[in-house]
Amino acid sequence: MINRLIASTLPLFPKRLVWLFSRSYIAGETVDEAMRVCRALNDDGMKTTIDILGEFIQNLEEAEKNRDEYLALIDVTQRSRIDGNYSVKPTMFGLLIDADACYHHIREIVAKAAGYGNFIRIDMEDSNCVDLEIRLFRRIKAEFPESVGLVVQAYLRRTLDDLKGLMDLHSPTLPLNFRICKGIYAEPRRIAFQRHDEINAHFLEDLEFMFQNGIYPGIATHDRALVEGALALIDRYDMGRDRYEFQMLYGVTPELRRMLIDAGHTMRVYVPYGRHWFGYSTRRLKENPKIVNSIVKSLLLRG
């Protein structure tokens, strides 16, 4: 109850106070700040995926501005020789307003990245968006088979069936590329597993399906038990280091991240930035009040 109370009242707090914890997990407000963070991560042996903050927009004029910002970001990132790719949230481009307009905006972004030989990851959002985002992914992958990937969420009861249903897009020469994460959106029990042990079990079940079928997974977790489970599957299926990667959020569990890098595993860090950092931070807390414990620790111990 205390966590929920803090999470629900945080939007009323001064932005400067919220930034005290947000700055540990967000690269900054500008593309230059994002480039500095990405360059430092590259120098420390990590790849990146860059995300401009903003989602669930109110009108299509915002979608056009967001598209233009991503197109400019791609040019800047390539000029800066950053070793990284990009993540996009479809609701930032009007998915729930006009799905076709959203497709055209994201298609333009993927085309831009593909022109540089780079890659766009379509993030998965709440359950209202899943079918729309799978259709969007299918549509873009048909034209850019090497340049687009998708996120799947292990806590959704449907995820393994979704993976099986997407296998028609897979081939040994052009494998599917999926990030698998637990999932953060608050969903009802009929849609999503609720218990920690259930979610972890299905995460590893989904990951094993990917290994068995040649899908390239981005293993996105900060849960040490899941990392150990993933490593056991990697050993069981004798997965080459070029057939998967680990992914973590910027600023989270740096010691676990370093352990994986030192052991020779590819690590990609999710780097969010942008002027909408305040809304991002407060929404994440409302969706998952348990994060409050981590925030309090961060304020007291600086991570």
Catalytic residue annotation = 123, 179
Tokens, residue 242: 């070029």
Task: Give the Cα-Cα-Cα angle 91, 95, 98 (nearest 5 degrees).
Answer: 140
Side chain identity at residue 79, one-letter code: R
> Measuring CA to CA, how many Å separate 92 from each of 117, 132, 150?
24, 14, 16
**DSSP structure class, residue 53:** -
d(CA 166, CA 188) in angstroms, rounded, equals: 25
What's the alpha-carbon Rg for the chain, to the nearest Å?
18
Cα of first residue to Cα of last residue in the chain, in angstroms, is 24
Residue 171 exposed, middle or buried by CB count within 10 Å (0-12, 13-18, 19+): exposed
Long-range contacts of 267-270 (CB under 8 A, 24+ apart): 267/45, 267/46, 267/47, 268/46, 268/47, 268/48, 268/49, 268/84, 268/218, 269/41, 269/46, 269/47, 269/48, 269/49, 270/48, 270/49, 270/51, 270/87, 270/220
**Nearest of 185, 184, 259 to residue 227 by alpha carbon:** 259
| Residue 267: its H or E element | strand 267-273
